[in-house]
Amino acid sequence: MAVGASGISSLAQTETTLAPYLADVDGDGRLGAGDIQLMVQAISTDRGFGLVPNTGFDHRADVFGRGVVGQAEVDAVIRTVQSADPLALRIAPRPLTVAWHYGWYDQLRRPLLQQTVRYFAGDYLSNDATVETGFNDLKNEFGITVDALSWIPSRITPTILENYRAGYFGASNAETRHVALLYESILALPSVGGRVDFRSPAVDETLAEDFAAMAETMVEARDRYPTRVLLLDGRPVIFIFASHSWGLNQRDGGEFLRMATVVGQAREAFNQVYGELPYLVGEELLPLASTATPSPDRISRASVFDAVYTYHAANLKTSATPFEMNEAYGRLQRLRLERAAQAMQGLRNRFSSERVLMIPSLAGGFAKHGLPILNTTRPALADYLKLLMRFNNERYLPIEWPSAIGSAKLPAPIYTLGSWNEEYEGHAVFPARFNLALKDSEQFGFDFAMAIKEAFGWNHYAEREIDTR
């Protein structure tokens, strides 16, 4: 049985029109009669909360992310279509949303303390193409555009790439998905006390080797399988996990110059295999936002990346108490974005001289046994998503990236949403039987996914290309 609007976001009651991309329910990149017709045909249907929707339910029409389609939904689309600027979808296209996707699940059953989230259908294997096919259907329904595949070299985790080949790339609907990589640098690179010493020849060799191997994975995604590679500025995208740990000696300017040399060599190693340089997204947003004037080592390190992000919004591992995702928490994360944007003014990539892009993280929670928990609910998450999106769309992109939306450099606003299927840290957004970060579930474990659907609509890019002018 679908849950009604009571206790959920008040969007349906308070807004008379939608963001244009939400009203583009047929996903063709235009607003018109086709969108209204689809809504009328879907009225009075509900999703239910099985993994597969009820027969007759059209997920594209669920513009409020409530699991039902009623007259309020139809009216909102009609109003938006009738009032929208003809160029609205060119000016504000449907955003690109990125979620981390993990492939290291080799055991069918996993101990409870290794599961802070439990998939609604139970445990799964990463080499199971049937599971990945179902995941893809859910991602497309709930608005996740890009899978950033957690990439660990075979010397560290021998099964992970083979799991992707058998499972993720073997899915029958793989053609609906865009692929990026999440380089697990903290696992892959030699480190000293959790930090990476770029004066070490071993780091030099390992980074170049891994970049060449990641290029091979991207070539497979592009040429061997029906998946599509996410391109920004015409280059395949690699997110770096824990790049903030790069540099053992923060006061040694020579090490950071060496870092730039090593990263440059790794870029070229990737280029030799793939045929394009990688678009690198470093995990640098929180370090840049930590002070009004970031230290030279942080600026130097950030300049080797094309964009910066954070893995999840809050660094809760340093906190002694649980957090609530409330208005104060939202203001804190917005302040961090404001400070990072200020710190990045004038910051350019040292290889291309292009501006460094800030990609906001909208991760919905954090819960790990033995550590503080970020508690949230579906309404709180929906409000949080919209708060940070407003900053990006009203305060950051128009000022720092004017007229860039729709170009190859920035086809649409881009956001990271945390994890799709990471069970261990608790911020997974797939339909979950339990999630330690989720309080007071109102939608039977679909709460996080439905909040994302409310903010972004379904994934239009499953059926059409990402537009660039």
At the top level of CATH, which class does the domain 94-462 belong to? Answer: alpha beta
Alpha helices in 220-313 (DSSP H): 253-274, 285-289, 296-302
Predicted confidence (pLDDT) at residue 104 exceeds the cutoff of 80: yes
**Distance of alpha carbon 279 from the chain centroid:** 16
pLDDT confidence of residue 162: 98
pLDDT confidence of residue 316: 55
Give residue-wise pLDDT tens across range 295-354. Answer: 999 999 999 999 999 987 665 555 556 788 889 889 989 999 999 999 999 999 999 999
CA pair distance 326, 338, nearest whole angstrom = 18
Element (H, E) at 257: helix 253-274
pLDDT confidence of residue 173: 98
Give residue-wise pLDDT tens across range 346-380. Answer: 999 999 999 999 999 998 778 888 888 888 999 99
Decide: 421 and 119 in contact? Cβ < 8 Å: yes
Give residue-wise pLDDT tens across range 215-239. Answer: 999 999 999 999 999 999 999 999 9
Among candidates 104, 182, 117, which has minimal Cα distance to 359? 182
For the chain, domain boundaries: 11-83, 94-462
Residue 111 bridge partners (DSSP)? none
- Strand pairing of 45-46 and 68-69? antiparallel
| 227 vs 123, higher pLDDT | 227
DSSP character at residue 244: G
Predicted confidence (pLDDT) at residue 4 exceeds the cutoff of 60: no
pTM of the model: 0.95
How would you class 109 by CB atoms within 10 Å of its CB: exposed for 0-12, middle for 13-18, buried for 19 or more? exposed
Q: Which two tokens stand for residue 283?
A: 């995990």
Among candidates 179, 187, 98, 142, which has minimal Cα distance to 418? 98
Amino acid identity of 158?
P
- Strand pairing of 117-119 and 432-435? antiparallel
